[in-house]
Structure 1
Amino acid sequence: MKAIQCTHLGPPDDLELATLPDLVAGPGEVVIEVHAAPLNFPDVLMIQGKYQLRPELPFIPGAEVAGLVTAVGEGVSHLQVGDRVASFVQLGGFAEQVKAPASATFPLPDGLDFAEGAALPLAYGTSAHALLDRAELKPGQTLLVLGAAGGVGLAAVQIAKALGARVIAAASSDEKLELCRQSGADDTINYAAEDLRARLKALTGGQGPDVIYDPVGGSLAEPAFRSIAWGGKYLVVGFAEGDIPALPLNLPLLKGASVMGVFWGEFARRDPKKNFANLRQLLGWMQEGKIRPHISARYPLADVPQALKDMAGRKVTGKAVIEPQR
């Protein structure tokens, strides 16, 4: 099989296209012929050694996939050869084949595009865990989504609307905000051109958002938190801007607010039953037309370095997907 390998830490252009032995399913595993593998911002960080997970070299990046089951290991009963599936694999997705734990692999409905199905585990799984489990978002509450045109951001916008919340989407350009409106956002903020706090005050009548979803970090974190409603919940999802912010701890005290970490991968490992319940909910919403991943770009396997550079350069909205069978 062909795969993209990281043989040493460095920029995307250092990745190598390699030919490796075909895979064999071990106990509790399946082998998947990969038809779609979305890019995620941690992929950019991991190949540079800047992510909390630091796999041994060499490794194949790519955390989630969709495709066809080609082999089933001992002890696997809910999946069969030929099944259309999606899976969270953590590593190995940017390849023609991947070994996946059966416990993290679920069937896809026949009418669902592989690229859309592949976007469910991480981006939508993260946002579902954040809004359902951590924030317990209620109908009628106001949610602010920072970096709202990215993969997890758009997922948060759509899930919040499915839950009956009011959504304020914040992004860095009018083009990105138009995509957020198409995904259901009620109001928008261009934080490259508008004052975030002043706009939030105007949109919420001075009350502030009940929940803030932040996959960006950096310079936006403190002004966003200063705008939060009394008793609000601030969801720390990631740091796409690159800098991890230092928040003055008097702010949660003065607002009676909570800072809540969202670590979907660890949640999925510790509570797989609840994670699968969330995924079933997501599939239900997808079949009802309430959520749908936005696929903005598709790349062949050899173009993984360019795809990662496009993501790092903020040229990707929604999800970009690698299609190894092209």
Structure 2
Amino acid sequence: MVVDRKAPAPGPGETLVEVLAAPITPLDVLCASGTSYFGTPRTPYVPGVQGVGTVGGRPVWFPTSAGMAPGDGSMAEIVRVAAEDLVELPDGADPVGIAALGLSAVAAHMALTWRGELVPGEQVLVLGAGGVVGQAAVQLARTGGARRVIAGARSPAARERARAAGADAVVALDTDDVTDLAARFAAAADGPVDLVLDPLFGVPAAAAAQTLRAGGRLVNLGGSAAETCPLDSSTLRSRSLRILGYTNTELSPQRRAAAIIVIAEQAALGRLAVAHEAVPLEDAAAAWTRQDAGAATGRIVLTPDRRP
């Protein structure tokens, strides 16, 4: 529901941000449902865990804890944000494009580099490559020096998004047969894979693990396919594989800010973008319904109308 509310007043250490773009993310929907591990949010509240806006005319990216702790989020014309959490963006940054990338691209970047320790010349397999994290990971693996990037995605539309992101090969994740899926990955790869980026878990992760070289790494940052994975002990032990977990919540504000700047710089250079659509803030209710139903064609970004 979109309503008129009194503009917030900043508290100690807070700054008012004029919002230009606020994405509707899966985390927003999960928090609002009351089924996340953060519990049921105190209502009424304005959702939106991140956004792009301006402070004194300067473009900034900002996070909020809306839905995870008391307080309002980014899906408003004006929001109050802790001044220390603001990340100044380069001049000319596209606010909608940066908002579409946001923390999803941060997760892809940090999972590849900080956790996955990507080395130039390595071969990378990205699961869920049609999603925002996956699209960003395909492109960031390439700019990080990967010699070959293989993408796995379920639907035809998702596979097309993975191709558009620049994957060298795209594999259909339309089977629950681990052996069959592992054979597909092996056929698409140029020899053993060095690093798997996995926001899915479940069967896709188990199959991807079978493609890894000795000492290869699989970084898991989600469980959208399943919360458990049929990874067999012999695969794990015989290759001395490393299975690593990743979450954005482990990042310090400084490390998160540095990652946002990398994302913004890559986007400004035309090397990083994900499928998205801009929707007026006044149409937020319908946009939210589409996001919740999985009917969006890309990341939905709400844009307040600031015409005089």
Report the TM-score, using the length of structure 2 for normalisation.
Answer: 0.86
Deviations 1:65-122 (A, max 9, x none): 11122xxxxxxxxxxx222211122321222222222222122233222111223431
Cα distance in 2 for residues equivalent to 1:309 and 1:210: 39
Cα distance in 1 for residues equivalent to 2:94 and 2:191: 43
Q: What displacement does 1:154 show?
A: 0.8
Q: Which residue of 2 aligns with 1:11?
A: none
2:79 pairs with one of 89, 98, 116 = 98
- Count residues with an aligned counterpart: 294
Mapped pair 1:304 → 2:279 = no
Which secondary structure does the structure 1 equivalent of 2:22 belong to? strand
Q: What displacement does 1:317 show?
A: 4.6
Mapped pair 1:113 → 2:97 = no
Mapped pair 1:322 → 2:307 = no
Mapped pair 1:190 → 2:176 = no
Report the TM-score, using the length of structure 1 for normalisation.
Answer: 0.81
Mapped pair 1:140 → 2:121 = yes
Q: Which residue of 2 aligns with 1:39?
A: 24
Q: Decide whether aligned partners of structure 1 residues 17 and 287 sit closer, same or farther in structure 2, where only a CA change above 3 A counts.
A: closer
Q: Decide whether aligned partners of structure 1 residues 116 and 220 sit closer, same or farther in structure 2, where only a CA change above 3 A counts.
A: same
Q: Which amino acid in the other structure matches residue 296 of structure 2?
A: V
Q: What displacement does 1:55 show?
A: 5.6
Cα distance in 2 for residues equivalent to 1:154 and 1:214: 12
Q: What displacement does 1:146 show?
A: 1.3
Q: What displacement does 1:289 show?
A: 2.2
Q: Which residue of 1 aligns with 2:4?
A: 19
Aligned residues of 2:185 and 2:211 also touching (Cα < 8 A): yes
Aligned residues of 1:84 and 1:107 also touching (Cα < 8 A): yes
Kindly, what percent of the aligned residue pairs are identical?
32
Mapped pair 1:221 → 2:199 = no
Deviations 1:29-76 (A, max 9, x none): 22112121112111222122222333631132211111122xxxxxxx
**Root-mean-square deviation (CA), in Å?**
2.3
Q: Which amino acid in the other structure matches residue 289 of structure 1?
A: G
1:174 pairs with one of 156, 169, 186 = 156
Aligned residues of 2:201 and 2:229 also touching (Cα < 8 A): no
Cα distance in 1 for residues equivalent to 2:126 and 2:157: 16
Which residues of structure 2 form unaligned runs of 5+?
67-72
Deviates more, 1:109-118 or 1:129-138: 109-118
Deviates more, 1:248-257 or 1:28-37: 248-257
Q: Which residue of 2 aligns with 1:6?
A: none
Aligned residues of 1:150 and 1:316 also touching (Cα < 8 A): no
Q: What displacement does 1:249 show?
A: 6.6
Q: Which amino acid in the other structure matches residue 45 of structure 1?
A: L
Which residues of structure 1 form unaligned runs of 5+?
1-15, 70-80
Which secondary structure does the structure 1 equivalent of 2:19 belong to? strand
What pairs with 1:1-326 in structure 2 (closer than 5 Å)?
16-54=1-39, 56-58=41-43, 59-69=45-55, 81-91=56-66, 92-165=73-146, 166-192=148-174, 195-204=180-189, 207=192, 209-241=193-225, 243-248=226-231, 250=233, 251-267=235-251, 271-295=252-276, 297-325=277-305
Q: Decide whether aligned partners of structure 1 residues 218 and 316 sit closer, same or farther in structure 2, where only a CA change above 3 A counts.
A: farther
Cα distance in 1 for residues equivalent to 2:60 and 2:194: 36
Cα distance in 2 for residues equivalent to 1:55 and 1:27: 27
Deviations 1:211-247 (A, max 9, x none): 1112223443322333333212111111234x31145
Q: Which amino acid in the other structure matches residue 215 of structure 1?
A: P
Deviations 1:196-225 (A, max 9, x none): 211111122552x22111222344332233
Aligned residues of 1:235 and 1:262 also touching (Cα < 8 A): yes
Q: Which amino acid in the other structure matches residue 223 of structure 2?
A: F
Cα distance in 2 for residues equivalent to 1:252 and 1:314: 34
Q: Which amino acid in the other structure matches residue 162 of structure 2?
A: C
Deviations 1:104-152 (A, max 9, x none): 2122233222111223431111111111100011112111111111111
Aligned residues of 2:22 and 2:99 also touching (Cα < 8 A): yes
Q: Which residue of 2 aligns with 1:3?
A: none
Q: Decide whether aligned partners of structure 1 residues 141 and 315 sit closer, same or farther in structure 2, where only a CA change above 3 A counts.
A: farther
Q: Decide whether aligned partners of structure 1 residues 300 and 288 sit closer, same or farther in structure 2, where only a CA change above 3 A counts.
A: closer
Cα distance in 2 for residues equivalent to 1:265 and 1:119: 19
Cα distance in 1 for residues equivalent to 2:105 and 2:297: 15
Q: Decide whether aligned partners of structure 1 residues 308 and 257 sit closer, same or farther in structure 2, where only a CA change above 3 A counts.
A: farther
Deviations 1:242-277 (A, max 9, x none): x3114547243233112211111331xxx2323322
